[in-house]
Amino acid sequence: MKKTKAITGLAALTLMAGLFAGCSSNNNPDNAAATNAGNNGAGTAATAAPEGDAAKDIKGDITVITQRTDIVDTVFKDYAAKFNEKYPDVKVNFEALSTYEDQIKIRMSTDDYGDVLLLPTSVAIKDLPDFFEPLGQKADLEQQYTGLEERSVDGVSYGIPITVNYSGIIYNKQVFKDAGITEVPRTIDQFMTALQNIKDKTDAVPLYTNYAAGWTLTQWEAVLATVAGNRDYVNITQVATDDNFVQGQPHYDLYKVMYDAAKNGLIEEDPTTTDWESSKADLANGKIGTMVLGSWAIGQVKGLATNPDDVGFMPFPTNAEKVLVPLADDYNLGISIHSKNKEAARAWVDWFINESGYPTTEGGGMSPVKGAELPEILKQFDGTEVTFDTLAPAKEGEEGWVDAIDKEAEIGLWQPDFKKVIIEAAIGNRKDSYDDIMKDLNDKWKAARAKVTAAQ
């Protein structure tokens, strides 16, 4: 199983005709070297790997640490073979960590944590220069890549996203066809009608919640911006209101879809016995109609499909004036400050991001390389009203307020708890009404917001 690490606040990336048009992702960007003066003595940036004959002068052994235990002995070895066609004197070794965040945190208490690794979320942004080699000035690198803001310090970048994820609904096209659904539903009412048609006309589960897994329910929070139709909503608008869970607001409308689907028998028969691994195969092969997930899951589902073309992606339904699909960078790839072969390590970083194909295949998202071709599954939206965009960052002085209010309120926006309460109430295992649940959440939000804003 590969779950993603998703964070928000990237530079805007809007899907319009021509933005991603046809530029090859096989061109290594000419990243300028940068000096990280004043950043805890991190020193000189690891320069971009040279091209052509100069590439053959790069030598050394490097260890690449990854979270992809599922493909480290197969796909990654193929990557190394292709990389060696360009850099024949670099030996690439791989280590895969099954619980990446926990294990890498222990390794980083020493100087031995590989040469190339994913920047763990446990390392505070301000502390990145203590552990990672600077890759270049952000102003230079962002001409080539999107998503550098989250892992930059004082204008210097320490990581490049391995992929850019998007969130919405993964669905089975054949199930939709069998149910007589000829157009992807845009509004919430249209989506609920589509789910009912799947129930009435097919044997598939219309909407699989994956209740038992727990973490899968948190995927719903990732589409809040789609329901709002506004990239400012998550980090700006909601922190300015006491009415975050009242009727007519995005949170209310978002989770009402979950509640109504469960109440109307449009989810799995017994959500307490769901199974994440088998659900992927069931979605791939027409036993499930839809699941709310990030793009990182698309490759896994397609890989289990008898006909991979049956697996599609659609934006979460919205009543907003425009259809916005939120983007967020996945893990960032960086170089250990203790690497003894930094030139070879940089060669791997540049090649992996630009030439391996990982971002859109195994990574399951968009390439962070500006100008890279769109993933095939998204080409249907080119030239349509659907916009792919990152969330606007918080206003100056309000950074981290959403998390602070959420923590103070003990709501758990990115935890499964209240989502489970919603499903349990909808199927009759609790006496709460949907409005009861929303009122409780809103009361907690209002009280916590007052405390957080007063403390600033």
Its pTM stands at 0.78
Evaluated on CA atoms 397, 399, 404, 405, the torsion sign reads positive
Mean of all residue pLDDT scores within the chain: 88
Evaluated on CA atoms 448, 449, 455, 456, the torsion sign reads positive
pLDDT digits (tens, 9 = 90+) for 57-68: 899 999 999 999
CB 130 within 8 A of CB 108: no
Distance CA 372, CA 25 (A): 5
CB 365 within 8 A of CB 358: no
CB 79 within 8 A of CB 356: yes
State the average pLDDT over residues 65-94. Answer: 96
Going by pLDDT thresholds of 50, 70 and 90, the confidence category of residue 124 is confident
Distance CA 432, CA 424 (A): 9
Locate 268 and state its tokens.
């799995």
Backbone phi and psi for residue 327, each to the nearest 5 degrees, phi listed first: -110, 150
pLDDT at residue number 225: 97
Amino acid type, 142: E
Backbone phi and psi for residue 91, each to the nearest 5 degrees, phi listed first: -95, 125
Instruction: Please check the confidence at residue 252 and state whether its pLDDT lies above 80.
Output: yes
Percent residues over pLDDT 70 in the chain:
88
Going by pLDDT thresholds of 50, 70 and 90, the confidence category of residue 287 is very high
pLDDT digits (tens, 9 = 90+) for 206-240: 999 999 999 999 999 999 999 999 999 999 999 99
pLDDT at residue number 378: 87
Length of the chain: 456
pLDDT at residue number 172: 98
pLDDT at residue number 73: 96
Backbone phi and psi for residue 273, each to the nearest 5 degrees, phi listed first: -115, 20
Of the candidates 153, 135, 154, the residue with the CA atom closest to the CA atom of residue 144: 135
Instruction: Please check the confidence at residue 5 and state whether its pLDDT lies above 60.
Output: no
Burial of 220 (0-12, 13-18, 19+ CB in 10 A): buried
Between 309 and 146, residue with greater pLDDT:
309
Percent residues over pLDDT 90 in the chain:
73
DSSP-derived 3-state class of residue 59: coil
Locate 66 and state its tokens.
């990854």
Angle in degrees, 0-180, between the axes of helices 250-263 and 434-454, rounded to the nearest 10: 150
Instruction: Please check the confidence at residue 325 and state whether its pLDDT lies above 60.
Output: yes
Longest dimension (CA), the chain: 71
List, in order of start, the domains of the chain with CATH numbers.
13-18+165-329+374-456 (3.40.190.10), 35-163+330-372 (3.40.190.10)
> Nearest-5° angle of CA 191, CA 329, CA 346?
150
Instruction: Please check the confidence at residue 126 and state whether its pLDDT lies above 60.
Output: yes
